Amino acid sequence: MDKELIIRGVRRASMGRFLLWLVPWAALLAFGVYAAGLCLYKGLGETNMDNRFAFGLWIFLDLSVIALGAGAFFTGFLFYILKKKELKAVINSAVVIGFVCYSGAVVVLAVDVGQPLRAWFTFWHPNVHSMLTEVTFCITCYLGVLAVEYVPILLKNRKLREVPRFLVFEWELHRLMYVLAAVGTFLSFFHQGSLGGLYGVLQGRPFAFREGFALWPSTFFLFILSAMAVGPSFMVLTTSLVQKITRKALVKPEVMQEMGRISGILLIVYVLAKTVDTLVWINSTSPSLGFPAHRFYASGPFGTWILFAEIVLFGLVPALILLSRDRRARMPWLISAASLACCGIVLNRFVMTIQTQAVPSLPFLPFVTYTPNWQEVGTFLAVVAYGVLVYSISFRYLPLFPQEKDLAR
Amino acid sequence: MAAKTKARYGMSIDVDRCTGCGACMVACAVENNIPPAPEGATDRKGITWIRVYKIDNGLPFPQNRSAWVPVLCQQCGEHTPCVSVCPQNAVEVDKTTGVVGQIPERCLGCRYCMAACPYQARYFNWWDPVWPAGMEKTLNPTVSPRMRGVVEKCNFCHGRLHEARAKAAAAGRREIDPADYVPACVEACPAQAITFGDLDDRNSQVARESREGSAFHLLERLHTGPKITYRSGRPWVHDALEIKVANNKKEPVRG
Amino acid sequence: MIRGKLFFAAGLLASLSAGWLGFPSMLYERVPQPLDFNHVAHTEKASMSCQDCHSLKEDGTFSGIPKVESCAACHAEPMGTTKAEKLLVERYVKPQREIPWLVYSRQPQNVWFSHASHLKLAKFECTECHGGHGKTRHLRPFERNRISGYSRDIWGPSISRIGAGRRPGMKMDDCIDCHRANHREHSCIECHK
Amino acid sequence: MLPNVYGFQWSAGHLIFLGAFFVVGTIIAITLAMALVRSLRDKGHKVETIRWKSEFGDLPERDRACRHQFDGRLPGRVCGNGFDCRLCAKHAEIAPGTAAAEPKERYHHRGHTWAQPQPDGTVLVGLDDLATSLTGTPERLDLPAPGTRVQVNGTAWRMERNGASARVLSPVDGKVVETGDSGRGWYLKIRPDNVDFRHLLRGREARAWLQREMDRMGALLPAPAVVGPTMADGGELVEDAAKAMPEADWDAVWGGLFLQP
Amino acid sequence: MKLARRDLLKLAGGAALGTFFTPAPWKALDDVSIWTQNWSWMPVPPRGEATTRFTTCTLCPAGCPVRARCIGKQPVSLAGVGGGLCPAGLAGHHLPHYPGRVRGASHRGTRCTMDAAVAAVREVAKGGRVAILDQRPGRTASLVYRRWLAGQEGGLYLTPPAREDATLVALGGGLAFNLDEARTVVSFGAPLMEGWGSMARVLESRPKFHLVQIEARQSRTASMADTWLPAKPGTEAALALGLAHLLGSQDAGRFTPEYVERITGVPAAQVRQVARRMKDAGPAVVIGGGDPAGPFNREEEQAIAGLNLLAGAMGRTIVPRAEVPVPAGFDKLAAETALDDVPDGGIRLLIIDEAASGNPVPWSYLKRKLAPGAMVAAAACSLDGYASHADYVLPAPVYMETAQDVPAACDSPAATFSMAPGLLAPPEETIEPADFVLRVAGEGGTLAELLKARVEAIHKTRRGSVVTYADGTATPLAEMASADDLAKAFKAGARWTDAGTSSEAPGIAFAAVDAAAIERRAASAQFPLALVPFGWRGAAGPVSPIFSKLYQESRVRSSEGEARLNPATAREYGILDGGLMVVETSCGSQAMTACLDEGVMPGVIEAAIEPGTGVLEICDVEDWCGWRTAPARMRRA
């Protein structure tokens, strides 16, 4: 029934099956919206956050999601600026994923703050010394950029491109896309960084505090690096996932491997930097603030194993796999390496957000734990559902994978 | 303007005198219109601008001894963790008093400052403030109640400073009479464990006490420059309130 | 093509007029004062001074609007024939009910405004903020912002806050302008409570 | 945010930070505006060119094969000029000189139309046998009114059948003088602006290409490939393949046939 | 012309563009965020003229002077005069709005008129065996009760156990502590640092004396004492006898330090040290009682009080104190009766004046004293206390609403008198407990009139001086022209202090201590697990909701249902920190949450008491007199 909306020559599930796929996600979305509504209507007392855990699940997920969404800007950067033409195969998909991640993150932030109606104060009366200001400005701008980048993909829809004006606009916009790609790279560079800075500047939290260059603590650069390293891995992951679900070849394996390679190179650099940073922190930064580093790993489930997992298991191991040609040539290896890398960055963001608050800062305070309640989880699931919906619909009606047709034959 | 209109207010708390009765907490709540806790609230979701913690020397019975430590906003002076992080300037250090002010009307409720504060002295309004029917009649008009979804904290009973200034102004003076400005917790403490005053005035009692040998700051090594000083003659109290750093070549740990 | 332009222009015009003319009148509801008070009558006929009703106490508080008993001092029984006075005596003086005046210049709950410091230290004239209110014969209706509940005087008469004199209203920005000009701007908590 | 707003300071921090913000904002705005203006400035005549450019770009690589792949002179070469060999330097050096159009000869466009110069200087445009067989008699056919201008690779006319619709690409630039239909074997009579037909295929080259095209189409059709033995070996094409197998995905077939992704 | 879709789009586009060039969106945005700053559902503090008024706190025997900052008539914050206040006092102005407040007289839960209540009580009173439990003895209201009871056959005037002046009562009454003179203070569980006597006075003289705290719990007082002797719960008296022995008493022959150590667990050396200090670093004073959690029994009180004689406290740290003058017509007063002396089932009518901060008595204990079908009438402001068991509940005015007089605290060497003028009007339906009794007695008159009379009586004496709260100026009473001036002064906030105390030691013939009884009890107190309740002054009465800061939001005070255990004990019973557990005694069981604390004596379960507490009820074990300690069992739930 929606045939004339679907690109010529690609196979798509019947409308019925497609709807069947959407329904559960839509239901999840509805549930999450209700949960979020509760928090907005009754206040954040509805959540399990408290004065010790001022930041909870939401901030952690925002950080993770934005880090994973970095695939969008980085792929754009490689494609438009460094002219890596083979990435044309995934650029559209990357943009959609980026858009989903960022818009989702922004929505959750709106629920997370106590007074969303005053959100614009940050723009009107900004404190330019705050990392959070930097984050807010950059993310909002970049979300705008992503939206603009999304437009041409939208206009490539078979029906829409029939409209001459759209066709021309898409064409003209697309010709200028490298400008947006450049801007997006600039913005992402800063907000990925300032997300790291967010915690790195907290002198009152020696667990997170890091020395750095100028106004930026080392975490600023580590976050950028890790985001760029994992972005392509996440693209590999999502692409192969879509391929699994749709049972179609969408992207040439070479492209996947190329992304894996890029991921690997950056990852190894990151691991090295992270190791150096950790050593400096343990031996100088933390003790000089009066906190022997071992104190942080003494209490609760957060032992030194976290450090190992972060640096070796989820850092070094995937990096090495991705760097060896014949390993990454095999899909299972490539994918498991990519997923390891993604886990790594998620764990890193978890340590930064949750563990930082779990370890007591005053010597007589106890170690406390926190578990999100259904309102928080629900709100998060809503974002996931929203993402799946947007992506599914885009995948059905928009040319996300130009190589699909070639591979279909 | 006259020199005396500028001050650096601070407190000195004698841990040995504190009986842990909680008068300061109640007085603070009454003075600053802090609502009673709703049903679900715990000691992690409550609002207590000043909070008395129980510490002990960790020895087994009968050697065990406990003490009580009132912790409030330390009004950091040098590096103020919460000020630099607030995205919309809702937190700032008042140049004329050194008080770290939190403006609920400007606050967005992002809670970044709470993550930044090492003293756990900032509190978020997780719920709408609700008083039992009729009790809003007893609210203090010199302090405006905070709405849900914003962060708040001790500001040395700034409402009282306002009143003191108004009183001075009515007499045509800019400098206030120190006796007119005493925070509620200081006034309420039956044990007189808390002294308050201008640290810049070297002869003031608080300045003298802050210079005593037994005086120390919480988490001194963070270099936040707190204006709250703690005093105790009991060595174990120092041990319980300070983190001893092993194997570091930095300056020796002292309170 | 031209037809399209016409429609566009029409939309533009409509929204512009709605925003500049319709919106302001919709935003404020006009509430009549409980009584039509005549300042002139009191200052001239009764030859009272402002301080008789609005005075500064030495603890720094400002009396603001007098209680009904001070009205009762003279108006225990109607002295004149005006409807307003009759109303005053019957509705408020006799039953000793306070008059629910709607104060044009009332600052919101979260603002600390000290008349003392502005009168005694800054040497303000009342008229600086209250204009010729003391010279009025009638009370204009109180205009309440339907969204924020504020008096219109806080924002100022002109919706754009442009061209209404040095300080168009009594908004924070207006306070700040003056405080800045006189180097008395130190911090938010200095005026926020 | 702005100098007149409370909280703003003339400090390096503010200026740098807000400066950067406003610059970024402006760049985004300008980019959008430029794209919009450009697209508005164009009053429709560029549409055909742009459409072809963008669609050509979206064609699968194998469909963009250079003509010289077929005669084996440039194996594996992909066309970068939207099949307009007149602009192609490579083509100029391989097949130099202008091939002046010879009357009665059929010049084949990659979009399966042919152009046949007439003595009177006009050109007949029709569908080649493969296309004819795969389209049969269209259910709907809207031909441009005489006087309409058409351009190479631009839309010549539209056809619909079995829910499949297609824009047939014009092989030549010129003005329509007369319209025909499937019955008369040709669809348009065009007075061409020029007789430079270098971008069209003819003779052996055309046959090689057509041969290849049949396999290509065959792949899009359900087996057994009903397009029988080709003209080359004196075979016959099915009269109306569309009627023969309604189950085929005609939309895709036509898309492949008329180079529309 | 007909509208095409594109036309509408154009129109909308134009409108959208235009809107940005009007103030509407921006002003609306601004106003909306202003709206979030003064939501309609935000409580608005009162506006009005700020005034300062004075009163005297009636929430505990300390009777602290209070400065109330008022808006109009409404107090909005309270502060001490020249000193601090306790949490209860600081939030006293919340009590009128106490959520659980009793509204209107009721009979077994159904509303009834005051007259009906009066009539019903009067009817029963005719039958005699009438008792009044006066939670705050020494007030003018108390005189009213005692006068009426004196006239009833078998009239009993009951006062709460665990009184702060229990030691003084045991010594014969008419006495007061004088801590200012003391250099050594030996306290048997008296909460000196947490609310005993007048906090201000105690803290003032604290630097001058060495504090020895004898208590099983590491109470706040214990942890702030110079010496803490954690005697096993229930063996305190044995320790007292041990000290007596060392101070050369005949009654305590067998109580050598070593023997005491065996019973109490306190090292003999420490006992000797304390005894030496009492001898050498005098003058010393020994204080027992005042622990809100429960009283010592008679033998224990005797033993503790007796120590004072041995330590030579009489006349130095324990001084005679004159009574505040009493108006005419109060010559015949019922004597105080201790609850233990009341035979079980001996009361037919019990009227309870639930004055604030009277220490709680387990209801089961009171019940035992009631005859079958006896009537209970409670004058209370909430149902948290005894009122929940009463047949008739009489809504009483609370602090701030009622004009009361405040007797001197037990540590005030001189007699004092001050008033708590009602800063707020009491609600219509309330009645002064004293006025209720007056109506039952049919004697006419009101408490207010009697207070006036008492002020006149004081004025007649021409003794002592009056100090105003406002500016602390002292005026000799002799200089006060009329009783009205004095009354005015009291209304405005003032305290009359009697002239200097007579220092000659009262000739007290002290009853011999029943050492055998104490030994018996101490011996039987050697049970494996002891349940030890503890509480704060006023823990029995209603408190301001703002106390959530102490109980709920900081847990600086452990709240009802929390059992504090030594980790070792907990381990023994497999109980985890924060885990659920059940405590059982021979008269009931209660579920509690465990809270491990190294400061708790092994084998001891410390449980906090609160209004309507259930803990006390299971602490009252019949075969174990007193409820400060109860043999208990516990298990994990």
Q: Best residue in E203, E544, E553 to probe B by mutation, most B CBs within 10 Å? A: E553
**Tens of pLDDT, residues A200-253:** 999 999 999 999 887 789 999 999 999 999 999 999 999 999 999 999 999 999
Q: pLDDT tier at D231 (50, 70, 90 boundaries)?
A: very low
Cα four-point dihedral sign B139, B142, B148, B153: negative
Q: Residue C175 above 80 pLDDT?
A: yes
Angle (CA) A346 A349 A351, round 5°: 110
Instruction: State the smallest CA–CA distance between residue E98 and chain B in angstroms.
Output: 8
Q: What is the pLDDT of residues E564-619, one digit of tens each?
A: 999 999 999 999 999 999 999 988 899 999 999 999 999 999 998 876 567 888 88
Question: Is the dihedral angle over the CA atoms E425, E428, E432, E433 positive or is it negative?
Answer: negative
Distance from CA of C72 to the nearest CA of E (A): 18
Who has greater pLDDT, B146 or D242? B146
Cα dihedral sign for E187, E192, E196, E201? positive
Residue E22 is nearest to which of C4, C20, C59, comparing CB atoms?
A: C20
Measure the CA–CA gap between A341 and A350, rounded to whole angstroms. Answer: 14
- Strand, coil or helix: E319: strand
* pLDDT bucket at E505, cuts 50 / 70 / 90: low
Across B31-45, B178-192, D194-208, least confident range: D194-208
DSSP code of C143? E
Q: What share of chain C is helix, strand, coil (3-state, %, to 5)?
A: 45, 5, 45
Terminus-to-terminus CA distance in chain D, angstroms? 48
ipTM of the complex: 0.91
**DSSP per position, D2-68:** -TTSTT---SHHHHHHHHHHHHHHHHHHHHHHHHHHHHHHS-SHHHHHHHHHHHHHHS-GGGGB-GG
Q: Where are the alpha helices (DSSP H) in E126-235?
A: 140-151, 166-170, 199-205, 220-224
Those residues with Cβ within 8 angstroms of residue A1's Cβ, 6 or more apart along the chain or in another chain:
A15
**Residue B253 predicted with pLDDT over 50:** no
Q: How many C-D residue pairs are in contact by the CB < 8 A criterion?
A: 3
Q: Which residues pair with E404 in a beta bridge?
A: E420
Q: Which residues in chain C touch residue B105, judged by CB atoms under 8 angstroms apart?
A: 110, 192
CB contact at 8 A, B197 and B206:
yes
What is the percent of chain E with per-residue pLDDT over 70, rounded to a whole number?
96
Q: What pLDDT band is residue E508 in, cutting at 50, 70 and 90?
A: low
Q: Which of E549, E551, E552, E566 to mutate to test the interface with B (most CBs of B within 10 A)?
A: E549
Provide, as residue numbers in chain D, all residues whose Cβ is less than 8 Å from the Cβ of C168.
none
Q: What is the model's pLDDT at position B156? A: 96
CA distance E635 to E637: 6
DSSP letter, residue E94: G
With contacts defined as CB-CB under 8 Å, which chain D residues touch A188? none
Tokens standing for residue D13 = 């921090």
* Mean of pLDDT values over E218-237: 93
The average pLDDT across B111-140 equals: 94
Q: What is the pLDDT of residue D255?
A: 86
Test A115 with B127 for CB contact under 8 angstroms: no
| Model confidence pLDDT, tens digit, residues A62-80 | 999 999 998 889 999 999 9
| B163 at interface of C, judged by CB pairs closer than 8 A | yes
Where is mean pLDDT largest: A279-288, A398-407, B243-252? A279-288
Place of tokens 């969404």: A69
* pLDDT for residue D234 is more than 60: no
Smallest CA–CA separation between E166 and chain B, in Å? 24
**Which range is least confidently modeled, A165-179, A361-375, D73-87, D93-107?**
D93-107
The reply to whether residue C114 touches residue B166, judged by beta carbons under 8 angstroms, is yes
Contact between E561 and E589 under an 8 Å Cβ cutoff? The reply is no
- Which of A141-145, A159-163, A229-233 is least confident? A159-163
Chain C residues inside the 8 Å CB shell of B143: 193
B166 touches chain C (CB under 8 A): yes
pLDDT tens digit sequence for E130-146: 999 998 899 999 999 99
Kindly give the residue spans of alpha helices, DSSP state H, lying in chain D. 12-41, 45-58, 89-94, 129-135, 203-220, 241-244, 250-257
Nearest Cα to Cα of residue E78 among B136, B70, B29, C111: B29
- Structure confidence at residue B2 (pLDDT): 41
User: Which stretches does DSSP call E strand in A214-261?
Assistant: 216-217
pLDDT at position E624 is: 67
CB count within 10 Å of CB D166 equals 25
**E634–chain B Cβ distance below 8 A for any pair:** no
Q: Does E42 touch chain A (CB under 8 A)?
A: no
HSE toward the beta carbon, residue A379, CA cutoff 13 A: 29
CA distance E560 to E580: 13
When the pLDDT of each residue in chain B is averaged and rounded to a whole number, the result is 90
Q: Torsions phi, psi of B13, nearest 5?
A: -115, 120
Per-residue model confidence (pLDDT) at position D244: 74
The overall average pLDDT reported for chain D is 83
CA distance C178 to E29: 25
Determine contact: D47 vs chain A, CB below 8 A: yes
Assigned token pair, E303: 């033993």
Q: Which of C63, C115, C184, C190 to mutate to test the interface with B (most CBs of B within 10 A)?
A: C190
Assess C176–D contact: CB distance below 8 Å, yes or no: yes
Whether the CB of E34 is below 8 Å from some CB of chain A: the reply is no
Residue A37 C-beta-side C-alpha neighbours within 13 Å? 6
**Residues E232 and E218 sit within 8 Å (Cβ to Cβ):** no
Chain A residues closer than 8 Å to D32 by CB? 148, 173
Q: Searching chain B, which residue's CA lies closest to the CA of residue A359?
A: B118
Smallest CA–CA separation between E42 and chain B, in Å? 7
Query: CA of D177 to nearest chain C CA: how many angstroms apart?
Result: 30
Is residue B129 within 8 Å of B147, Cβ to Cβ? yes
Q: Residues D24-61, buried b or exposed e (16+ Cβ, 10 A)? A: beebbeebbeebeebbeebeeebbbbbbbebbbebbbe
- The residue written with tokens 């348009």 in the block is D188
Residue E102's Cβ-count burial label (10 Å; 0-12, 13-18, 19+) is buried
User: Cβ of D225 under 8 Å from any chain A Cβ?
Assistant: no
Residue D4 distance to chain C (closest CA, Å): 9
Which pLDDT belongs to residue E83?
85
User: What's the average model confidence in pLDDT over D108-124?
Assistant: 90
Residue contact C23–E16, C-beta within 8 A:
no
Return residues 102-121 of B near A (CB < 8 Å): 106-112, 114-120
Q: Do B25 and B51 touch, CB atoms closer than 8 A?
A: yes
Measure the CA–CA gap between D70 and D72, rounded to whole angstroms: 5
* Interatomic CA distance for residues B113 and B124, integer angstroms: 10
Chain length of chain C: 193
Query: Which residue of chain E is at minimal alpha-carbon distance from B47?
Result: E553
Alpha carbons E206 and E187: distance in angstroms, whole number: 13
How far from chain centre, in Å, is Cα D55?
8
Instruction: Evaluate the CA torsion angle D83, D87, D93, D99 in order and state its sign.
Output: positive
Note whether D39 contacts A: Cβ–Cβ < 8 A: yes
Residue D1 and residue A123 in contact, taking contact as beta carbons nearer than 8 Å: yes
What's the order of all strands across the beta sheet hosting D188-192? D107-108, D113-117, D123-127, D188-192, D174-179, D149-150
Query: Which chains lie within 8 Å of chain A at 3 or more CB pairs, if any?
Result: B, D, E
Task: State mean pLDDT over A268-296.
Answer: 92
* Mutation target among C21, C65, C98, C147 for the E interface, most CBs of E within 10 A: C147
DSSP conformation class of A369:
-
Q: What is the pLDDT of residues E538-569, one digit of tens each?
A: 776 788 999 999 999 998 988 878 899 999 99
Q: Check if the beta carbon of residue E545 is closer than 8 Å to that of residue E561.
A: no
Reported as type and span, the H/E element at residue B84 is helix B81-85
ω into E283 cis (within 30 of 0): yes
pLDDT band for position C80 (50/70/90)? confident
Across the range B3-10, mean pLDDT stands at 80
Mutate to test the interface with E, among C1, C16, C21 (most CBs of E within 10 A): C16
What's the token pair of residue A267? 């990852």
Residue with tokens 């004081």: E458
Question: Residues 87-126, chain A: which have Cβ within 8 Å of E?
Answer: 115, 117-118, 120-121
Contact A290 B222 (CB under 8 A): yes
Cα–Cα dist A214/A7, whole Å: 51
Say if B213 is an interface residue toward chain E (CB within 8 Å). Answer: no
- Residues C67 and A83: their CA atoms lie apart, in Å, by 79
Phi, psi torsion values for E431, nearest 5 degrees: -140, 135
Render pLDDT for E1-22 as a digit per residue (tens, 0 to 9). Answer: 577 888 898 899 999 999 999 9
Q: What is the pLDDT of residue D230?
A: 47
Among chain A residues, the shortest Cα distance to E26 is held by A120
What is the nearest CA distance from D141 to chain A, expressed in angstroms?
18
Average pLDDT (B241-250) is: 53
Chains in contact with C via at least 3 Cβ–Cβ pairs below 8 Å: B, D, E
Helix ranges restricted to H, E227-297: 236-246, 257-264, 268-280
- What is the least distance, in Å, from the CA of D122 to any CA of chain C? 36
Q: Is the dihedral of CA D232, D235, D239, D245 positive or negative?
A: negative
Q: Across residues E371-376, what is the average pLDDT?
A: 94
The C-alpha of E36 sits at a distance from chain A's nearest C-alpha, in angstroms, of 7
Report the pLDDT value the prediction gives residue B5, as an integer from 0 to 100. Answer: 72
Q: How far is B199 from B47, CA to CA, in rounded Å?
A: 28
**Angle of the A15-42 helix axis to the A374-397 helix axis, nearest 10:** 150
* Gap between the Cα atoms of C45 and D232, Å rounded: 120
By DSSP bridging, strand A216-217 and strand A212-213 are antiparallel
Closest CA relative to residue A210, chosen from A7, A367, A351: A351
Which residues of chain A does B118 touch, with a Cβ-Cβ cutoff of 8 Å? 204-205, 361-362
More confident site: E465 or C129: E465
- Helix A331-350 to helix A57-68 angle (10° resolution) is 140
Residues of B in contact with E425 (CB under 8 A): none
Confidence of residue B1 (pLDDT cuts 50, 70, 90): very low
Q: Which residue has the tokens 């990925």?
A: A192
- Provide the pLDDT for residue C165: 61
Q: Place B4 in a pLDDT band, splitting at 50, 70 and 90.
A: low
Q: Are E186 and E278 in contact (CB under 8 A)?
A: yes
Side chain identity, residue D18: L
What one-character DSSP code corresponds to residue D233? G
**Which residues from chain C sit within 8 angstroms of residue E18, using beta carbons?**
11-16, 19
pLDDT at D236 (0 to 100): 57
- Distance, in Å, from the CA atom of A174 to the CA atom of B28, rounded to the nearest integer, reads 62
Q: What is the rounded CA–CA span in Å between residue E218 and residue E202?
A: 19
D256 interfaces chain A, CB cutoff of 8 Å: yes
Residue pair B85/A201 in contact by the 8 Å Cβ criterion: yes
Binned at pLDDT 50, 70 and 90, residue C100 comes out as: very high
Instruction: Verify whether the Cβ–Cβ distance A127 to B88 is below 8 Å.
Output: yes
Of E101, E384, E430, E86, residue with least CA distance to B134: E101
| Chain E residues 18-77 with CB within 8 Å of chain C | 18-19, 21-25, 27-28, 31-32, 34-35, 37-38, 40, 42, 44-45, 49-50
Whether C contacts A, i.e. 3 or more CB pairs less than 8 A apart, is no
